[in-house]
């Protein structure tokens, strides 16, 4: 059995594209998805910038052949990304081996809950959304759409590291032989709930987010869904599958410092990266590129930067945050950046960290600001969340 777990399919929908090809084209042409908010009516519309998926709900409903207002936006974008990943992995019968689904989400059906919160008391028109608030309901809808029956299906919600943790659990279940195939990732749509929540924390930027910049003003919220298909060696051999990349290492750790903020020295992030390197059997110098969490909040970027210095010492590899393109897509972020990491490996490309001008005064770390060609064997991706949750996944070309 190889050490890495094979990735055979990827799928994504985000503010910079409705599929993998569009996302990649945006990444290499510098096309960002950050704008004023258009799809949610909010009093904050002039004070914030967000990363919205272009398609409105009615477009998504038509695409999925759903009745109007049948589903929350979160499962709809989740289905689109999961279906692309499954098609990309050339799976014709999802139940032809032991297949599971592990999905991360934080908001689930919150968009509909907040829309109809009081309407539920007035009439029964929107009662279909009552059970949609449970995060598991989003995953259930995706599972039903892709045809999973009598299967292992679960949902992880560890805030902004949810999808990274879904990849981690999926890889462990393939390794332990409990699953032959698993679809892993996450989905989160925009909601007033998160817009206002991050507003109360005062970490939302009113302009384009600038990860790792001295004058960064906070994050732009984004929405996205992204999934990977992981398959066992047995299925790779059985179906003569093309492998896109491997999940080589992973680690989760808790900062145990503060309910929302990261510790000053990035303790949890260091532990997560060290665990992932250990599982991968790699030393830090084997990492060719770091796709950073880099939310552009004052706290995250300082903490993550210090953690990078602690893990890599004087030899921090090229690193960049792609959140200037997509915004911070919360539970989906680890999935989005997993897809970008696979594409980076396939194309030997490092994405630019947009909007970076001035190094932070605490250290002399500069992210890669240009699109750069480099032979990549391994990419390390970080995702950190509320509750001190820190996750790292390492992707590689070789098993």
Partner 1 sequence: MKKSVYINSVGSVSPQNTLDNSVFLDEIVNYEDTTLAVISPNYKEFIPPAAARRMAKGIKMSTASAKTALSEAQIEESAVDAIIVGTGLGCIGDSEKFIKDIIDNDEQYLTPTRFIQSSHNTVAGQIALGMGCKGHNFTYVHSSSSFESSLLDAKMQLEENEAKHILVGGVDELVDHHENTHRFIGHIKKTPVHTNALLTSKSKGAVFSEGANFFLLSNEKTNSVYSQLIALKTFNTIALERIESLATDFLSENNLSIKDIDLIVMGNNGDIEFDAYYDELSNNIFKETPQAYYKHLSGEFDTASAFGFWLANKILKNQNIPKAVQMNSIQPEKLQTILLYNQYRGENQSFVLLKGC
Cβ distance to partner 1 smaller for residue 159 or 282: 159
Interior angle at CA 51, CA 49 and CA 54, nearest 5: 120
Shortest Å, Cβ 102 to partner 1: 9
Shortest Å, Cβ 386 to partner 1: 5
Report CA torsion sign: 279, 280, 282, 288. Answer: negative
Q: How far is CA 176 from the centre of its chain?
A: 24
Shortest Å, Cβ 105 to partner 1: 8
Cβ distance to partner 1 smaller for residue 153 or 277: 153
Shortest Å, Cβ 317 to partner 1: 25
Query: Which tokens in the block code for residue 1?
Result: 């059995």
Shortest Å, Cβ 220 to partner 1: 18
Cβ distance to partner 1 smaller for residue 307 or 376: 307
Query: Which tokens in the block code for residue 140?
Result: 């259930």
Task: Burial-class residue 46 by CB neighbours within 10 Å (0-12, 13-18, 19+).
Answer: exposed
390/384 Cα distance (integer angstroms): 4
Cβ distance to partner 1 smaller for residue 197 or 284: 197
Helix 333-347 vs helix 20-29: crossing angle, to nearest 10: 70
Shortest Å, Cβ 115 to partner 1: 10
Cβ distance to partner 1 smaller for residue 27 or 270: 270
Shortest Å, Cβ 121 to partner 1: 7
Q: How far is CA 313 from the centre of its chain?
A: 27
Cβ distance to partner 1 smaller for residue 57 or 138: 138
Cβ distance to partner 1 smaller for residue 93 or 240: 93
Cβ distance to partner 1 smaller for residue 10 or 159: 159
Shortest Å, Cβ 311 to partner 1: 15
Residues that bind partner 1 (CB under 8 A): 42-44, 101, 105-106, 110, 113-114, 117-118, 120-121, 124, 127, 130-131, 133-137, 139-140, 143, 148-159, 165, 169, 172-173, 176, 178, 192-193, 196-197, 199-201, 252-260, 267-268, 271, 385-389
Taking alpha carbons only, the member of 70, 15, 17 closest to residue 38 is: 15
Write the CA distances from 348 to 31, 154, 338, integer angstroms. 19, 33, 15
For 309-337, letters b (16+ CB in 10 Å) and e give bebbeeebbbbbbbbbbbbbbbbbbbbbb
Which H or E run includes 196? Answer: helix 192-200
């Amino acid at each position: 059995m190889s050490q890495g777990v094979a990735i055979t399919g990827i799928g994504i929908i985000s503010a910079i594209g409705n599929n993998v090809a569009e996302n990649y084209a945006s990444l290499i042409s510098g096309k960002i998805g950050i704008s004023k908010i258009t799809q949610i009516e909010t009093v904050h519309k002039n004070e914030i910038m967000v990363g919205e998926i272009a398609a409105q709900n009615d477009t998504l409903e038509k695409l999925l052949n759903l009745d109007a207002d049948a589903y929350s936006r979160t499962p709809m974008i989740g289905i689109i990304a999961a279906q692309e990943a499954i098609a990309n992995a050339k799976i014709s019968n999802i139940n032809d081996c032991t297949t599971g689904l592990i999905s991360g989400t934080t908001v689930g059906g919150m968009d509909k809950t907040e829309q109809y919160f009081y309407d539920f008391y007035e009439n029964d028109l929107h009662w279909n959304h009552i059970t949609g608030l449970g995060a598991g309901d989003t995953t259930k809808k995706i599972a039903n759409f892709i045809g999973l029956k009598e299967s292992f299906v679960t949902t992880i919600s560890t805030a902004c590291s949810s999808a990274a943790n879904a990849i981690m659990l999926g890889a462990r279940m393939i390794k332990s032989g409990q699953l032959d195939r698993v679809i892993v990732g996450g989905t989160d749509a925009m909601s007033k709930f998160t817009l206002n929540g991050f507003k109360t924390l005062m970490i939302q930027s009113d302009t384009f987010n600038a990860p790792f910049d001295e004058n960064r003003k906070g994050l732009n919220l984004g929405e996205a869904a992204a999934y990977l298909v992981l398959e066992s060696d047995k299925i790779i051999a059985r179906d003569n599958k093309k492998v896109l990349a491997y999940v080589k290492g992973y680690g989760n750790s808790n900062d145990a410092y503060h309910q929302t903020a990261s510790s000053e020295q990035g303790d949890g992030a260091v532990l997560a990266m060290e665990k992932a390197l250990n599982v991968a059997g790699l030393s830090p110098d084997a990492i060719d590129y770091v796709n950073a969490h880099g939310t552009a909040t004052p706290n995250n970027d300082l903490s993550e930067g210090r953690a990078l210095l602690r893990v890599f010492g004087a030899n921090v590899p090229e690193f960049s945050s792609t959140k200037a393109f997509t915004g911070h897509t919360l539970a989906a972020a680890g999935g989005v950046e997993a897809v970008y990491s696979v594409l980076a490996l396939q194309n030997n490309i490092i994405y630019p960290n947009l909007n970076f001008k001035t190094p932070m005064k605490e250290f002399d770390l500069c992210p890669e600001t240009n699109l750069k060609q480099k032979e990549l064997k391994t990419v390390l991706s970080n995702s950190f969340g509320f509750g001190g949750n820190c996750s790292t996944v390492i992707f590689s070309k070789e098993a």
